[in-house]
Copies of this chain bind each other. A is one copy, B any other.
Amino acid sequence: MNVVNESPRRKELTRLAAQLFVQEGFDRTTVRMLAQEMGIKSGSLFHHFRDKQEILAAVIEEGTQNALMLARQALEECGDSTSERLHAMARAHLQTLLTDRNAHVVALYEWRRLDPAARDHLSHLRDAYEALWEQVIDEALQAGLIHGDRFLVSRFVMGALNWTVRWYDPEGPRKPEDLAHELVAMIAPATHVQPGQSTKV
């Protein structure tokens, strides 16, 4: 059984699984549905994954790794100002929801279906991501850009962002950039944003 490695085939299967998990939910997605989507028979599935749980864990790990990487990259590439860093984080978050939507939706909705071992492992990844947010929010608090309780503000912001998967329509007129702008404007109204952009209301 090809349980340990990270073959390209396994990656492709993980991507397909994410799509099905979003459409049907984890519990309603049967191994036979997964196999069919992948163009193989259900028995063959267990050559790539130890069990159904491991497919879920693979989907979530993939998505979270990706988000973490993109957020770190966004922070490195943006300017030093606190306002720019807030923007960069919000934009990166929303862009991953756009480009890597399935894995993220699964991570948000099916987290509780993970068994304790997988949950423990993956929560470290998630904590690393949330730590990035808390750090940037800390900076914004110290700079007087936003006000309030560190813990509560970061939870509220994460909530507002994560909730977007429920209503955001990538085909609509609003771009991730617009949402990020609006969110930062909402919590830090006095902010001067990136050069070249006016503070729209």
Chain B contacts of A201 at CB under 8 A? 147-148
The smallest beta-carbon distance between A173 and chain B, in angstroms, is 11
CB of A175 to closest CB in B, whole Å: 12
Stretch at the interface among A45-53, A65-73, A158-166: A158-166
Contacting B at CB under 8 A, from A121-158, are 146-149, 152-153, 155-158
Q: Which residues of B contact A153 (CB under 8 A)?
A: 182, 186
**Chain B residues within an 8 Å CB radius of A149:** 182
Check A118 for interface membership: any CB of B closer than 8 A: no
- CB-CB under 8 A from A9, the residues of chain B are none
Which residue on B lies nearest to A159, using beta carbons? B163
A158 to B168, CA, bound (A): 13
Bound-complex Cα distance A167 to B151 (A): 11
A170 interface contact, C-beta 8 A: no
In the complex, how many residues of chain A place their beta carbon closer than 8 angstroms to a beta carbon of chain B? 33
Taking CB atoms, residues of chain B closer than 8 Å to A162 are 159, 163
**B155 near A164: Cβ-Cβ < 8 Å:** yes
- Say whether A182 contacts B109, CB under 8 Å: no
A162 to chain B, nearest CB (A): 6
Within 8 A of B (CB), among A90-113: 109, 112-113
A124 to chain B, nearest CB (A): 17
Point out the residues of chain B lying under 8 angstroms from A163, CB to CB. Answer: 155-156, 158-160, 162-163
Which A residues have a C-beta under 8 Å from some C-beta of B? Answer: 25, 27-28, 109, 112-113, 146-149, 152-153, 155-164, 166-167, 174, 179, 182-183, 185-187, 189, 201
Closest 8 CB pairs of A and B: A159-B163, A27-B27, A156-B160, A159-B160, A160-B160, A152-B182, A159-B159, A147-B201
